[in-house]
């Protein structure tokens, strides 16, 4: 299986570090990318790291990953709670998918308690701050090694 992992980030995560730091912390998305690259390097994974505010762009990256990658780590941000289209794109993938949320969505407003993406995710990490991304990379490496979904 491919050792390339797509790390995809949804809307407003470009503002990480500046946006609601009491909830999301002070680390920027560039810091998160560096953390992911470090974790991936240790596990002999390659990373494609992307962020978009546009649903169609995230779907296009999922389609690309479907052809090239061995797994996806995704923080769909607000699209988590709204996007059947992202769920459909992920359902077209045969490899492991890990869903990440920086905040503990279950301690927040009730509209954040439902996730379309969880219907296809092998696992969900929420409330671990930006550390959740490196934990997700470690988990996806294990799933790829074991050829599991
Ligand atoms: C988030 C949680 C979502 O509810 C929210 O819309 C986000 C970020 C998180 O990482 O905690 O934008 O996915």
- Number of compact structural domains in the chain: 1
How many whole angstroms from 143 Cα to the centroid of ligand 1?
A: 24
pLDDT digits 0-9 by tens, 82-106: 999 999 999 999 999 999 999 999 9
Pairing label, strands 4-9, 71-75: parallel
pLDDT digits 0-9 by tens, 24-70: 999 999 999 999 999 999 999 999 999 999 999 999 999 999 999 99
Q: What is the mean pLDDT of residues 119-137?
A: 98
Pocket probe mutation, ligand 1, options 73, 78, 126, 135, max atoms within 8 Å of Cβ: 78
Tell me whether residue 13 is in a domain: yes
Q: Is residue 112 marked as binding?
A: yes
Determine phi and psi for 52, rounding to 5 degrees: -150, 150
How many whole angstroms from 79 Cα to the centroid of ligand 1?
A: 9
> Which amino acids are annotated catalytic?
24, 101
* Full domain range(s) for residue 134: 9-74+86-104+126-141
Pairing label, strands 97-101, 71-75: parallel
Tell me whether residue 52 is in a domain: yes
Tell me whether residue 146 is in a domain: no
Tell me whether residue 42 is in a domain: yes
Q: Is the pLDDT of residue 149 over 90?
A: no
- Cα–Cα distance between 105 and 138 in angstroms, integer? 22
Distances (CA, A) of 41 to 3, 58, 61, 138: 11, 24, 22, 11
Tell me whether residue 121 is in a domain: no
Distance of CA 115 to the CA centre of its chain: 13
Q: Which two tokens stand for residue 107?
A: 């301690």
Q: Is residue 88 marked as binding?
A: yes
Tell me whether residue 135 is in a domain: yes
Q: What is the pTM of this model?
A: 0.97
Tell me whether residue 31 is in a domain: yes
Tell me whether residue 60 is in a domain: yes
Pocket probe mutation, ligand 1, options 77, 114, 121, 132, max atoms within 8 Å of Cβ: 77
Please answer whether residues 19 and 102 qualify as being in contact, where contact means their C-beta atoms are separated by less than 8 angstroms: no
Instruction: Indicate which atom in ligand 1 lies nearest the CA of residue 103.
Output: 11
- Cα–Cα distance between 23 and 84 in angstroms, integer? 26
For residue 36, what is the domain's CATH number? 3.40.50.9100
């Amino acid at each position: 299986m491919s050792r390339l992992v797509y790390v995809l980030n949804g809307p407003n995560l470009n503002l990480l570090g500046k946006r609601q730091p009491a909830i999301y912390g002070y680390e920027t998305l560039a810091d998160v990318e560096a953390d992911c690259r470090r974790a991936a390097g240790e596990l002999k994974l390659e990373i494609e790291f992307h962020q978009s505010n546009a649903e169609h762009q995230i779907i296009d990256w999922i389609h690309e990953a479907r052809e090239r990658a061995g797994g996806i780590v995704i923080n769909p941000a607000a699209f988590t709670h709204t996007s059947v289209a992202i769920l459909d794109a992920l359902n077209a993938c045969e490899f492991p998918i890990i869903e990440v949320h920086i905040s503990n969505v279950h301690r927040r407003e009730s509209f954040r308690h439902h996730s379309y993406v969880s219907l296809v995710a092998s696992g969900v990490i929420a409330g671990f701050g930006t550390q959740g991304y490196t934990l997700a990379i470690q988990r996806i490496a294990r799933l790829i090694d074991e050829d599991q979904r």
